[in-house]
Structure 1
Amino acid sequence: MELKDIQNLIKFVAKSGASEVKLEMEDIKITIKTGEEKGETTYIQQMPSMPQQAAPAAAAPAAAPPAESVNEDSKYITVKSPIIGTFYRKPSPDKPMFVEVGSTVGQGDVLCVIEAMKLFNEIESEVSGKIVKILVDDASPVEFDQPLFLVDPS
């Protein structure tokens, strides 16, 4: 994990409202505590060197607004995942999908849910438009800032 990743994690936890997040991987332990009186406190402990293997993903417990950016190669807006977790296109297995390709969405409409640490976080659209493409399969793991949808704002 690079310093930039740790700084982004600290910022994300501060915005999420969580009071404490612990991240433990094979080679590093991070505990981030936030509090109104104390400010941010970060503890980082380097673990003894071990053979490199894929580290498990961790997620903060609260949702942040979805990050969106305009792709320079197209006129579409990319809706990105604000958290690490599991992407679901419907609120429960017996309910219909939130959106399909061709669906018209308004600002504040729920596009999907992302489950992180047993909490289901609704991801709302920040723009009005039409869903052009769904970039992630239902029940798939997603990373922070991973593109989820393409929206045509026109």
Structure 2
Amino acid sequence: MNAKELKAILQALQDHEVGELTLETPDYKLSVRRGSPQVQWIAAPPPAPLPAPTPQPISAPAPTPPASSPTPVPPSAEPPKPDTNHYVEVKAPIVGTFYAAPSPDAPPFVKEGDRVQKGQVLCIIEAMKLMNEIESEVSGTVKQLLVRNGEPVEYGQALFLIDPA
């Protein structure tokens, strides 16, 4: 294949709005993909200014309680968070739009608390008008959905946390 033939192929792809082409002969293999995923930038609001510190008078240290009396520990305002170190993150393999269900009126593929098997479809990511099913890499329980339906996702972004236990 020479440069003129390659230009003609690329022009035909553009004229007919073909997104991807793979051409294979005994002599060569040519794969062409048009366009690149659009990156959406979302500006974060500026952080709120910190309040100015108020001067505190210097005073003598408070007396320490006797060692024999145990100090009561006040109950925490928030319950302890579960240990997520052993959870498996299912990450987006491509850039696109996350869909939790096969169609708008269908139930989601999975919900938090559902038991999933390795290879089970968890969601769909739409990229360049192609629907890509994302499958579970492990068997386990879906502990957390990290993305909402219809949100754009980036390559490598965590979508789900699965407890393989």
- Normalised by the length of structure 1, the TM-score is 0.56
Amino acid at match of 2:39: A
Q: Tell me, in whole angstroms, the C-alpha distance in 2 between the residues paired with 1:33 and 1:90.
A: 29
Q: Kindly, what percent of the aligned residue pairs are identical?
A: 51
Q: Where does 1:131-150 land on structure 2 (aligned, <5 Å)? A: 131-150=142-161
Runs of 4+ in 1 over 6 A off after TM superposition: none
Output one character per residue of 1:60-119: Cα deviation in whole Å (capped at 9) or x when no partner.
xxxxxxxxxxxxx60100000011100000000110011100000001110000001111
**Structure whose alpha-carbon radius of gyration is higher:** 2
Q: 1:41 to 1:97 in 2, by over 3 A?
A: closer
Secondary structure at 1:126's aligned position in 2? coil
Given the alignment, which residue of 86, 96, 99 partners 2:110? 99
Task: Confirm whether residue 113 of structure 1 aligns to residue 124 of structure 2.
Answer: yes
Q: How far apart, CA to CA, are the structure 2 residues paired with 1:131 and 1:120? A: 22
2:133 maps to 122
2:103 is paired with a residue of what secondary structure?
Answer: coil
Residues 9-88 of structure 1: pairs in structure 2 closer than 5 A: 36=24, 37-38=27-28, 56-57=38-39, 74-88=85-99
Q: Distance in 2 between matches of 1:138 and 1:40?
A: 36
> CA distance change for structure 1 residues 57 and 33 in 2, over 3 Å: closer, same or farther?
farther
Offset from partner CA, 1:111-153 (integer Å, 9 cap, x none): 0000011111110111100000101111000001110000000
Aligned residue pairs total 98
Please give the alpha-carbon distance, in whole angstroms, between the structure 2 residues aligned to 1:75 and 1:148.
16
Equivalent residue, structure 2, for 1:64: none
Q: 5+ unaligned residues in a row in structure 1: which ranges? A: 1-19, 21-31, 43-54, 59-72
Question: Pairwise CA RMSD of aligned residues?
Answer: 2.7
| Separation of aligned partners in 1, 2:158 and 2:124 | 14
In structure 2, distance between residues paired with 1:152 and 1:41: 38
CA distance in 2, matches of 1:119, 1:34: 16
TM-score by length of 2: 0.52
- Structure having the higher strand fraction is 1
